[in-house]
Amino acid sequence: MSHPHSLVTVCPASVRQDLLDLGTAYGVDAGMVVELSPTGSAPATHYGSHAWASAGFVAIVTGQVQHVPDGYTQEQVDAILGQCIFSVDKDGLTNRAHFDAVLADQGLQHIQVDLP
């Protein structure tokens, strides 16, 4: 399967586990390991990830196609996805540049962790 699309996902911390569970139902690892906040300080208010995604998966998360995995209703899928930000192929950016551009648009920063 080809994964030609740069996909950045950002979700509120309160939705993170629901999005991870929904990703599992779709057969994908949603990631969502990057902790984010408006100030760059803990606690995390949002989580984010970058992935390379197929056109079919992009169509699902952007609402172009409705696909309900087993164990969910369309209303549940819409409620979870509707709280998230999905950015696809933003301005031709990829990887970290794409992720950072979405964070800037949303007023979010990586949480800085002090290393010993």
User: What does 48-104 look like in DSSP terms, one character per residue?
Assistant: EEEEEE-HHHHHHHTTSS----TT--HHHHHHHHTTSEEEESGGG--HHHHHHHHHH
How confident is the model over 87-114, as a mean pLDDT? 92
Q: Is the pTM for the entire model greater than 0.85?
A: yes
Per-residue pLDDT of 35-59, as tens digits, reads 999 999 999 999 999 999 989 999 9
The pLDDT of residue 77 is 96
In the predicted structure, residue 1 carries a pLDDT above the cut 60: no
Is pLDDT larger for residue 61 or for residue 114?
61
